[in-house]
Amino acid sequence: MKSTLIKDIYRNSALYLNQEIEVSGWVRTLRASKAFGFIELNDGTFFKNIQVVFEEGLENYAEITKLTTGTSLIVKGILAESPGAKQPFELKAQTIVVEGECASDYPLQKKRHSFEYLRTIAHLRPRTNTFAAVFRVRSIVAFAIHQFFQERGFVYVNTPLITGSDAEGAGEMFRVTTLDLNALPRTEEGKIDFSKDFFGKETNLTVSGQLNAETYCMAFRNVYTFGPTFRAENSNTARHAAEFWMIEPEIAFANLEDDMELAEDMIKYIINYVLEKAPEEMAFFNEFVDKNLLERLNNIVQSDFERVTYTRAIELLEKVKDQFEYPVEWGTDLQTEHERYLTEQVFKKPIFVIDYPKDIKAFYMRMNEDQKTVAAMDLLVPGIGEIIGGSQREERLEALEKRMKELGLKQEDYSWYLDLRKYGGTHHAGYGLGFERIIMYLTGISNIRDVIAFPRTVKNAEF
């Protein structure tokens, strides 16, 4: 007999009522008297448990009453209505087989544990309500993102993680090597001989798939990446991890406005999808993690996102600059406090800030006519600040070469990127969404370590 999944029982209980079924899962709680007992059993397929009722007639009744939290069981019985109780049905056990006992030093006893402690048992924490909800939502959102793009005909591209180019220049990178560090090969000049390394040259872990994605954008028109990305920044904050996942769509024959429309549609699609597919988890977060979560998300879905230029944003911020820790001045990057003020206090909804000064943005962003700003956009949302950063790309070969020269970038390092402008280039745009950041936003979880199964941060690569 195959086990019925608890999710299926909840979603289609009429199918199973008064039937004999088998369920299998793990004991969350167990209480028993001399004559009967109750088990809250969870099988991992659903946020809620099923209640198992067992009576002293069971052959192994005494054994069952002594079982502890975490034990795995296979239960056969009749699914019966449970009138007046908290749960709509319960399983009246006919047999209970102990599949795997749980040692008495099991760290996940009934009491509440701190998130800090649970990080030290990252292999067990998905068995708790909070982390079961977080990682189910993470899975559902990943699929929502794929479905959003696939429905629109976008081609999913796997850009390489090991990279021989330092093209983005977007921060510190991890070196990848197979050289024996205890016997590094040397050239005649005494330098390390990377021609002996696996790839025949220096290689690192990528910080962005964008430049590679642009090559496929010029073939498939609309593409997206969704894969891991790395930053070797020595910053121990709640928002930074050394290894995280990014989504980077890239669209051809598209300008900054098209880019913003895509980002807005995507955010709303994700929120609607997760509210529909994980209502129990989202209700849990709203109750136990962030009481304003559902209100905030519903507000976003119903808003038309605002557009405001960077220059106008600075004007708005300068009016109240005394209330900020960081200075506000045209030419400086916005800090989270500035971003949150704009989206929470001024506009009270998500806003795109556009047309940033060229000097605080990347070389590939399209120069505006004023020659001072570029066609960049950051999406700011209440409660968090920046969640997406994107731009229209510089498709004009001369303008791109000029900007690279200003910044001291060598053309030969970017020859394939420049080829895209030589051979039938088009105006195009794209953006990056940090996957963990959207998960934090959707769940209210405030530390990135709690939305990554096995987080990698400074001095931490456990499991």
Say whether 20 sits in a helix, a strand or coil. Answer: strand
Q: Which of residues 116-175 bind a copy of itself (CB under 8 A)?
A: 122-124, 126-127, 131-132, 135-136, 138-140, 142-143, 146-147, 150, 153-165, 172, 174-175
Residue 378 buriedness (CB in 10 A; 0-12 / 13-18 / 19+): buried
- Say which DSSP state 112 is in: -
Q: How far is the CB of 213 from a copy of itself (least distance, A)?
A: 9
Residue 337 binds to a copy of itself (criterion: CB under 8 A): no
Residues 18, 20, 23, 27, CA torsion sign: positive
User: Least distance from C-beta 162 to a copy of itself, angstroms?
Assistant: 5
Q: In terms of CB distance, is 149 or 431 closer to a copy of itself?
A: 149
Rounded to whole angstroms, how far apart are CA atoms 450 and 447? 6
Select from 227, 272, 307, 368 the one that contacts a copy of itself (CB under 8 A). 227
How far apart, in whole angstroms, are the C-alpha atoms of residue 299 and residue 441? Answer: 13
**Smallest separation, CB 128 to a copy of itself (Å):** 9
Q: What are phi and psi of 250, to 5 degrees?
A: -145, 125
Residues 51, 222, 343, 392: which binds a copy of itself (CB under 8 A)? 222
Inter-residue contact 427 to 250 (CB < 8 Å): no
Is residue 273 near a copy of itself by the rule CB under 8 A?
no
Site for a copy of itself in 387-426 (CB under 8 A): 395, 416-417, 419-426
For a copy of itself, the binding residue among 78, 102, 316, 399 (CB under 8 A) is 102
Q: Please give the residues from 192 up to 221 whose contact with a copy of itself meets the rule CB under 8 A.
A: 192, 198-201, 203, 205, 212, 215-216, 218-221
N- to C-terminal Cα separation, the chain? 35
What does the radius of gyration of the chain's CA atoms come to, in whole angstroms? 27
Q: Which stretch binds a copy of itself (CB under 8 A): 288-296, 307-315, 341-349, 454-462?
A: 454-462
30-89 residues in contact with a copy of itself (CB under 8 A) are 43-45, 70-72, 74
Is 27 a binding residue for a copy of itself by CB under 8 A? The answer is yes
Residues 237-256 that bind a copy of itself (CB under 8 A): 242-243, 245, 252-253
Q: Which residue has the tokens 């009429």?
A: 14
User: Which two structure tokens, joined as six digits, stand for 59?
Assistant: 């052959």
366: contact with a copy of itself by CB under 8 A: no
CA 61 to chain CA centroid, Å, is: 45
State the nearest-atom distance from the C-beta of 303 to a copy of itself, in Å.
23
- Residue closer to a copy of itself by CB (options 86, 112) is 112
- Of the two residues 35 and 183, which places its CB atom closer to a copy of itself in the complex? 183
Cα–Cα distance list, 317 to 294, 322, 328, 401 (Å): 28, 9, 7, 34
Rounded-to-integer distance, Cα 102 and Cα 83, Å? 32
> Tokens 């099923």, residue?
50
Residue 306 to residue 299: CA distance in whole angstroms: 13
- Comparing CB distances to a copy of itself, the nearer of 128 and 303 is 128
Determine if 183 is a binding residue for a copy of itself (CB under 8 A): no
